[in-house]
Amino acid sequence: MPYQGGKRLSGERASKLGHLDVVNSDLVNELIAQFEDQEPTQVETPASWVEIPDDGIPLRLIFAVDGSKQTIRSDLPPYKELSFIKTALLRLDQHAIAKLDPVSPHPMALRDIMSDSAMYHATVLPLKGVSVKGKNNYDAVRGIIFDSMRDQSLNAEPYETLKWLAYEKWSGQKKPSPSFSCPHCQEEVVGLPFDQDEGTCGHCGGHLYLTDMIGFHLEMSEDAAPDSVATSYMLIHETLMLFTGIRIFWDVGKYSVLRNSLFIKDGPLSLNGQYSKLTIPIRNFFEFAKARDISVHVVGQEKTGGFVDHLELISRNAPRNSVFAPSNEYIRKEIQHRPERSEPYGSRTNYGNKVFVKFDAYHHLVLSIPTGGYTDSYSLDVFFGLKNILASLPPILSHRHECALVPVELANGVASLSSYPSAAIFKVFADI
Ligand SMILES: [Zn+2]
């Protein structure tokens, strides 16, 4: 997802209503003027900002993931709809970033970084009116998702990561996958046996893919899939790309590399609705790593939404170089305005808690950082690797876009290019 234009760094923001010059009503013009000149609201909040700890150590290696999606519809009947999805993982080190001109990075320097250190995945999902090998749309999409996850240009590594998460392979126990709803009869399947790719429903005998466990079929009908399936695929795949980096280092015992790496995800660390099946295994992984004193630094950065809007308001009064972790109570009252008895924020869906950070007048970020199991504590101590994560961010703050991080901008560049030379996955990890 691209960074949105800011107010100070990326030049004049285009007038949202400027194109409505056909409007001649004085009243309408006055309303438009009020809308555009609106003074920032002063918001009093109980936000308790504290200074960013100064003993964090910047992490040497940085990985960033991002994705893009484009849905194409035919103009004439029979209407067809296809969605193209791309995700990218990019590796950078602080040394390479230090060499980039922060204001105007040279395109060739960026190209070199990308060609050596980026890997990407691209696929296409038929959403409507496309028949594949005589299957209905529903089964075609299920099959394509299963095949796409095992993308051979990436040596099926993101799929191996799905299995690693679904079966909690780090634990050394032979656990079954999480339970899920059968795509044929909708009965609950207790989970596929350990390490299986495919299986059979015990209720109806229907064929099952491990990727059915993720739950895409729950938002599809027999003839069509909504655009949101493509968005969900992109989000799940971004998550798998991110954890592929972690898994590869973990599996070969390169814990010192992990301790020195920062994994940045575009967007919050959360999986919503039926897609939250993987949230618990991911939380379990962070707990497992913590119990072995292996720091895994993961951070999500949100660029839109209620938290970003809220930080926009409260960061004005926040001191420079400060951090604030909102409690569930704060989120409920000040940001979401939800009733008191509602479920704790993100307890089922998030694998990181929110952290607001203000570095300077141009850079304030909504981050999420893992805490292991769900906690409502907003002490900075609950966040895994918080000090080192925060120490790693100032050198990668963008000077081109407000509130932006260079690695995410670059990953976005890879993910949004229509074609890009493929790079073997292991190249990204091999020379470390
Ligand atoms: Zn069934």
DSSP string of 157-216, one letter each residue: HHHHHHHHHHTTGGG-S-PPPPPEE-TTT-PEE----TT-SEEE-TTT--EEEGGGGG-G
Q: How far is the CA of 200 from the centre of ligand 1 (A)?
A: 8
Bond before 46 cis per omega within 30 degrees? no
Q: How far is the CA of 186 from the centre of ligand 1 (A)?
A: 6
Q: Output the CA 136–ligand 1 centroid distance in Å.
A: 17
Q: What is the DSSP letter of 336?
A: I
The Å distance, Cα 189 to ligand 1 centre, comes to 7
Residue 79 has pLDDT above 50, yes or no: yes
- Residues 243-267 pLDDT 10s: 999 999 999 999 999 999 999 999 9
pLDDT computed for residue 250 by the predictor: 96
Q: Which amino acid is at 422?
A: S
Q: How many CA atoms lie within 13 A of 397 on its CB side?
A: 18
Q: Report CA(191)–ligand 1 centroid distance (Å).
A: 12
Say how many Å lie between the CA of residue 102 and the centre of ligand 1.
55
Could you tell me the distance, in angstroms and rounded to a whole number, from the CA of residue 176 to the centre of ligand 1?
17
Q: What percent of the chain lies above the pLDDT cut of 70?
A: 85
CA of 210 to the centre of ligand 1 (A): 14
Residues 334-348 pLDDT 10s: 898 888 777 788 888
Residues in the chain: 432
Mean pLDDT of 123-136: 81
What pLDDT score was predicted for residue 120?
84
| d(CA 203, ligand 1 centre) in Å | 5
CA 380 → CA 155, 226, 228, 290, 385, distances in Å?
Answer: 39, 40, 35, 16, 10
For residue 53, the surrounding DSSP H or E stretch is none
Are 424 and 87 spatial neighbours (Cβ–Cβ below 8 Å)? no
Q: Give the mean model confidence (pLDDT) for residues 145-159.
A: 90
Give the model's pLDDT for residue 14: 41
What's the rounded mean pLDDT across residues 308-332?
Answer: 93
Cα–Cα distance list, 351 to 122, 286, 379 (Å): 26, 9, 17
| Two tokens, residue 174 | 């032979």
User: What are the contacts of 193-202 at 24+ separation with CB within 8 A?
Assistant: 194/167, 195/163, 195/167, 195/169, 197/163
Q: How far is 344 from 328, CA to CA, in rounded Å? A: 6
**pLDDT tens, residue by residue, 178-196:** 999 999 999 999 999 999 9
pLDDT value for 23: 52
Round to whole Å and give the CA distance between 87 and 151: 12
Q: With cut-offs at 50, 70 and 90, classify the pLDDT of residue 427.
A: very low
What value does the mean pLDDT take over residues 41-66?
87
The mean-pLDDT minimum among 11-25, 98-112, 199-213, 229-243 falls in: 11-25
204: CA distance to ligand 1 center in Å? 4
Q: How far is the CA of 400 from the CAs of 4, 76, 204, 403, 413, in angstroms?
A: 11, 41, 56, 10, 14
Of residues 370, 367, 369, the one with CA closest to residue 288: 370
Please say whether the beta carbons of 394 and 400 come within 8 A. no
Distance 47 CA to ligand 1 centre (A): 50
Least confident of 13-22, 186-195, 209-218, 283-292: 13-22
Which band of pLDDT confidence, cut at 50, 70 and 90, is reported for residue 177? Answer: very high
CA of 216 to the centre of ligand 1 (A): 15
